[in-house]
Amino acid sequence: MKLLDRFLDGDRIALSRVITLLENDRNRRSAILDRLYPRSGNARRIGITGPPGSGKSTLTDRLTKQLRISGRTVGIIAVDPTSPFTGGALLGDRLRMQGSWDDPQVFLRSLADRSHTGGLSEATPHAMTALDAFGKDVIIVETVGVGQSTLDVSDVSDTTVVLLTPESGDSIQAMKAGLMEIADVLVVNKADREGADRFAAELRTIVDLGRWEEGWKPPVLSVSARDNTGMDGLYEKLDAHGDYLAGEGRLRRRRMRQGRSAIEKALGEMWRGRLTKLRDADCTMDRLSERVARREIHPLAAAGELMDELSV
């Protein structure tokens, strides 16, 4: 049987292979998605993001167990950074996600970001599509440890959870922009540590001052994922946000916005692909670079010329 037939037959090995091909094989990626994309869209997608060491994997592990208790199947994509110097990566999220290792209804895949900026790898949305088409009820995507502007997770999640720790306090000013704005739910993890209450109160003030969609003000929750305290409150809020999205076509609107962003990203990739080809094959780039260096033409105009050439 061919790979995609085995996939649709529920073969986990095939699911695993398909994710690899979606990652590696640019030539066949589109053909694979032709089969899988129409079968996706049913899963609830939860994004978990936050600074390094904030407890994303531990929280994901807990959340997974809870989802399984409520009878839902789970797919997880955990992203860790690739070294820009060697291209290698150490993927360690599995270390803290061993709570459901023997549960056949949980599938966890670690991906290296392959130097893609934005907190996810380029193939992450496709891997999520695969898990979705495979029939997972909930997909959790865990980003690399992020700072301010790695916000791709909000483009692939129905609900985005931003995880912080009391130690994140000092950088909170900078986080007002970006990370804070994509949060549907804010979690202060390691809430047993000193300063956690004050920090949570500060976060609430920032949320109060910020803008949010009508009908949903991002709640701030204090938990300890390690000690399993306060987690019930998080599960409730996740369900509540799911209900909120289900109303008045909100989920459809959110996914449309995400669809637009996905198309734009794909277009960007295609252009870059063409540009690389052009650079390899043609001397147009050399000619233009020389003219830019001689100040005969400025870079924007040169890019415009290239654009014209690429469009034919």
Partner 1 sequence: MTDNIRVLVAKPGLDGHDRGAKVVAGALRDAGMEVIYTGLRQTPEMIAEAAVQEDVDVVALSILSGAHMTIFPRVMDLLRERGVDHMLLTGGGIIPKSDGDELAKLGVGKLFGPGTSTRDIIAYINEEVARRRVADEI
**Rule CB under 8 A: which residues touch partner 1?**
2-4, 12-13, 16-17, 19-21, 23-26, 28, 31-32, 82-83, 86-92, 94-95, 98, 101-102, 107-110, 112, 114
Q: How far is the CB of 56 from partner 1 (least distance, A)?
A: 16
Cβ proximity to partner 1: between 1 and 174 the closer is: 1
Toward partner 1, which CB reaches closer, 32 or 231? Answer: 32
Amino acid at 32: I
> At its nearest, how many Å lie between partner 1 and the CB of residue 121?
11
Nearer to partner 1, 4 or 183 (CB): 4
- Which residues does 100 contact at the CB level (< 8 Å), separation at least 6? 61, 64, 65, 68, 74, 106, 108
Smallest distance from partner 1 to CB 276, Å? 14
Q: Could you tell me the two tokens for 203?
A: 């976060």
> 19: exposed, middle or buried (C-beta count within 10 Å: 0-12, 13-18, 19+)?
buried
Query: Which amino acid makes up residue 198?
Result: R
Judged by CB, which is closer to partner 1: 12, or 193? 12
Nearer to partner 1, 78 or 185 (CB): 78
> From residue 85, how far is each of 81, 234, 246 by CA, in Å?
12, 39, 44
Place of tokens 């991906």: 111
For residue 16, the minimal CB distance to partner 1 (Å) is: 4
CB of 4 to partner 1, least distance (A): 5
CB atoms inside a 10 Å sphere around CB 153: 27
The whole-angstrom distance between residue 221's C-alpha and the CA centroid of its chain comes to 21
Name the 3-class secondary structure at 160: strand
**Cβ at position 227, least distance to partner 1 in Å:** 20
Calpha distance 72→64 (Å, rounded): 9
How many other C-beta atoms lie within 10 A of the C-beta of residue 147?
14
Q: How far is the CB of 212 from partner 1 (least distance, A)?
A: 37
In sequence order, the β-bridge partners of residue 221 are: 187
Based on CB atoms, which residue is closest to partner 1, 25 or 296? 25
The smaller minimum CB distance to partner 1, of residues 129 and 154, is found at: 129
Minimum distance from residue 275 beta carbon to partner 1 (Å): 18
User: Which residue number, 4 or 234, has a Cβ lying nearer to partner 1?
Assistant: 4
Q: How far is the CB of 84 from partner 1 (least distance, A)?
A: 12
Q: What angle do CA 305, 311, 312 make, to 5 degrees?
A: 105
User: Measured from the CB atom, is 37 or 216 closer to partner 1?
Assistant: 37
In order of 137, 233, 255, 263, the CA distances from 155 in angstroms are 19, 25, 8, 11
CA distances from 178 to 153, 205, 268 (A): 12, 17, 22
| C-beta separation of 29 from 21 below 8 A | yes
